[in-house]
C-alpha cells in the first residue's frame, strides 16, 4: 500500500515524498515484514532512506509469549543525514506496523537491537519513547570482531508517534552506563570469563562421563 503525506521542511530537504509502506510476502522474510521507503516526488526511483520491521513472537519464560514488532533496520543516504529523515522513517514504520490488518492489533511492544557505542542512534530511539531493556555483550560479530549491543523496547500502547522525549541524550547515556554497570556487577571480570567458560564446559564433560560410567556399572552381569 502507498500513502502520500506532506512533511514539514527538514533542513533544506522538503519531504513532499511518497512514503511507501510495502508489505513483503511471508515467504520472503519470515514471518512478516514491512518496509517504509522515502523517495522524492521529482525522482521516484531515488531512495533517500528506508526502514524495515517484522512481527515476531518472543518467549518470556514460564511458557509466556510477547507479541513484538521488531525494528530491523533504519538506513538513510549519507547526503540526507542530519535532516530528521530517520525520525520520519521510524514514525512511519511504527504506524504501518500498528495498522497492519493481520498482526498490528496484537502488537504489545516495539523492540530493536543497536550497537552499544552508537550514542546517536540510541538517542534517536529515546526521543521516540524507547528505553534500554538489556545490555548484550558481544551480541554482534562482524569485521572479525565481536561488538556489544543494547536491546531497546517501547510500549506499543504509546501509539506510532509520541511527543519528543526531553533530555533524550542525557537519559540515554545515563541508562547505557547503568546497564553496563549492572551487568559488570553480575559477571566475573573479563579476564576470568573465558576461564569460567572452560571450567563450565569441563564440568559438563565430566558430568556426562560420570553418568555414562554409572550406566555401565548398573548393567546386569550375565
Cell reading at 19: 512514503
For 121-171, write each residue's pLDDT tens digit. Answer: 999 999 999 999 999 998 888 888 899 999 999 999 888 777 677 788 888
- For every residue of 167-220, DSSP letters joined together read THHHHHHHHHHHHHHHHHHHSPPHHHHHHHHHHHHHHHHHHHHHHHHHHHHHSP
Res 197: pLDDT: 54
**CATH value of 2-189 in 3.60.15.30, 3.40.50.300, 3.40.630.30, 3.40.50.720:** 3.40.630.30
User: What does the domain layout of the chain look like in residue ranges?
Assistant: 2-189, 190-222
Query: In which residue ranges of the chain is pLDDT below 70?
Result: 1-31, 44, 60-64, 163, 183-222
Res 8: pLDDT: 40
| Residue closest to 47 by CA, chosen among 26, 73, 68, 25 | 73
Rounded to two decimals, the pTM is 0.70
Amino acid at each position: 500500500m502507498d500513502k502520500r503525506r506532506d512533511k514539514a521542511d527538514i533542513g533544506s530537504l522538503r519531504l513532499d515524498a511518497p512514503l511507501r509502506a510495502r508489505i513483503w510476502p511471508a515467504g520472503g522474510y519470515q514471518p512478516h515484514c514491512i518496509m517504509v521507503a522515502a523517495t522524492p516526488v521529482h525522482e521516484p526511483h531515488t531512495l533517500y532512506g528506508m526502514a524495515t520491521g517484522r512481527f515476531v513472537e518472543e518467549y518470556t519464560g514460564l511458557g509466556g509469549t510477547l507479541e513484538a514488532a521488531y525494528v530491523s533496520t533504519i538506513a538513510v543516504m549519507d547526503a540526507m543525514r542530519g535532516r530528521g529523515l530517520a525520525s520520519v522513517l521510524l514514525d512511519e514504520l511504527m504506524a504501518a506496523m500498528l495498522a497492519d490488518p493481520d498482526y498490528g492489533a496484537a502488537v504489545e511492544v516495539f523492540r530493536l537491537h543497536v550497537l552499544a557505542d552508537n550514542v546517536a542512534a540510541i538517542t534517536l530511539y529515546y526521543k521516540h519513547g524507547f528505553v534500554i531493556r538489556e545490555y548484550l555483550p558481544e551480541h554482534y560479530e562482524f569485521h572479525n570482531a565481536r561488538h556489544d549491543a543494547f536491546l531497546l523496547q517501547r510500549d506499543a500502547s504509546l501509539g506510532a508517534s509520541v511527543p519528543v522525549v526531553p533530555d533524550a541524550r542525557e537519559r540515554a547515556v545515563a541508562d547505557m552506563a547503568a546497564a553496563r554497570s549492572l551487568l559488570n556487577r553480575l559477571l566475573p571480570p573479563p579476564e576470568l570469563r573465558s576461564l569460567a567458560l572452560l571450567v563450565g564446559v569441563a564440568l559438563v564433560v565430566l558430568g556426562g562421563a560420570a553418568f555414562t560410567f554409572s550406566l555401565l556399572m548398573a548393567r546386569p552381569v550375565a
